[in-house]
Chains A and B, each alone.
Chain A
Amino acid sequence: DSGVTQTPKHLITATGQRVTLRCSPRSGDLSVYWYQQSLDQGLQFLIQYYNGEERAKGNILERFSAQQFPDLHSELNLSSLELGDSALYFCASSVEATVETQYFGPGTRLLVL
């Protein structure tokens, strides 16, 4: 158990819908990262927050957004969902935002029908 929690574990929804994925980092970790894992794209970095502020953006679509709250939990919002958004979404956390180990949550498996 990495100490990072993610809910829900599984999510099935329809095209055009909006979903929210939730992540609680390890105790003491200030930095949260979101990654997407799909068969065709592999593991890709989406976005990073550090202590409530957006720190870096990767290959995140405009339909996707995220935030980190004062208690340091983070939410990833996916809207106008398409079939191609079906993937495993990981949250990871680390103490700071430097070259250090990131610990991953169990992931949320999203299926868009």
Chain B
Amino acid sequence: AQKITQTQPGMFVQEKEAVTLDCTYDTSDPSYGLFWYKQPSSGEMIFLIYQGSYDQQNATEGRYSLNFQKARKSANLVISASQLGDSAMYFCAMITKQDYGGSQGNLIFGKGTKLSVKP
């Protein structure tokens, strides 16, 4: 079964330091995409970064980078130089091309990690 696991319910980081949020995934489909979304307390879901299963290099978007280790099935999010505004819930998610009973193209989410940035 396809699954996303985020083992850190909550994390603290000091402002200006880097932090890594863990994500492991499970799929037998060779073609998939991995995503990270940020959900501030206001509730909206903000797309941060995407990694395709065939991408040779780790994805980067500004202060966000994705540490993609395919053999270990992990896709950890690294936030560099944390800011107070980074305090939020962070969700790891996956899409596979595999068609399970008609499901195709929908995001499967982990339970999220609540990041708190301390001044």
Contacts and interface: CB of A to CB of B under 8 A. Distances in A.
Contacts of A97: 104-105
Size bracket of the B interface: 20 to 34
B32 interface: yes
Given A33-B107, A102-B107, 15 more contacts: A31-B105, A42-B109, A42-B111, A43-B107, A56-B105, A56-B106, A88-B43, A99-B32, A100-B33, A101-B35, A101-B47, A102-B35, A102-B47, A103-B47, A104-B45
A55 interface: yes
Contacts of B105: 31, 33, 48, 55-56, 94, 97-99
Given A103-B47, A104-B37, A33 B106 contact: yes
Interface in B54-102: 91, 93, 95-97, 102
Interface in A77-113: 88, 90, 92, 94, 97-107, 109
10 tightest A-B contacts by CB?
A104-B45, A45-B106, A43-B109, A99-B33, A97-B105, A99-B95, A56-B103, A106-B44, A56-B104, A56-B102
